[in-house]
Structure 1
């Protein structure tokens, strides 16, 4: 299967529409439609049913997708390595972070880190802890920050700090004893 076919199939599965896939690939919708048709001809079976102007993945597409997804992620890793070789540095770090840290702690940490590494770009995605672990295992991110350790055999967790949690209430809320909480 050609790389371009893998890309169009992957992006149509992600976006759910040819238009969305075309936007992701920075090509026109007619070009994306032709590419998807060529991919289906190459595979030899329909990958999508056209239902009310929507694309619905066939059973064959559902079987093929996990393999294509892995291949696409590996292709992305190759592209990143080429960028690294070209510039001499890793030009992008994909950070995954829980929302609470992404709004409070992460901006300051990234600002300090960015002063030491100005040549590196950072992308930040906010996810919940389990999603961070799953995404890192699939190599959809480079580093993650969460409140709990990852429970995945391919990942390692390192404590980097401790946090305090307090209960805050109105001064006149004596009807709710804190001990009940």
Structure 2
């Protein structure tokens, strides 16, 4: 049986017409080409080329072999093209989702980085609530959801992305902006804006008050962190917000961000359906999300060192 290397050498001689030309095509030595050619003819028991006026021409009895060699080589070329197309995302479509706090700034930045790797990839993005993620994944509407809440479900696989913090946000003219660190006890005495406490994301933002033994109520309840930030910017109260929702150039200039005196924890996760292997695009997206989350947090700290 001929190896791909032997097929490559035979084709190179067919194309170039000389051993020297074949060697130049394959970027190897001419004696090496001659050795492979002699070994191949001995192996097959037939003469493949006739030398006429210094050039190699296929023998009449070997013409069928050359047709097959050309066909095999074309198949190899098609395989290489398919691999290169896959590397570019050609003819590939994937769907990813993210909760609003991540979709606000981090997701678009991660998509830009992913597009640099796979410029031909068709990508469908969905902004979904935490409680919608299970159906989104189990019904195969999408392959990955970036979340700020860990979902424990036998049909799902979870990978940690980032571990950050929660912060206090206030109107720029609020008296508390003079304090470098704010306690949740300071915030509890103010008008509070937040997410519905029964919402998993709302529970995350309420956790610093709960852990301090404070029973608080919101004067205004919103659906997303971006709406909460806008309400604070309008002077309608103060709030606790995760750091990724505060990332990017979209942050309101009339909001001031302050560290909380109490320790907080804000984690993000990539969630997948457990019954399907991940695509190379999902794996790449995870890396892009991690990088952009770290970058967003570093940039926010640079602009607002608190």
Superposed pair shares fold, TM > 0.5: no
Comparing both structures, which one devotes a greater share of its residues to helix? Answer: 1
TM-score by length of structure 2 reads 0.28
TM-score by length of 1: 0.45
**Which of the pair has the greater relative contact order for Cα pairs under 8 Å at 6+ separation?**
2
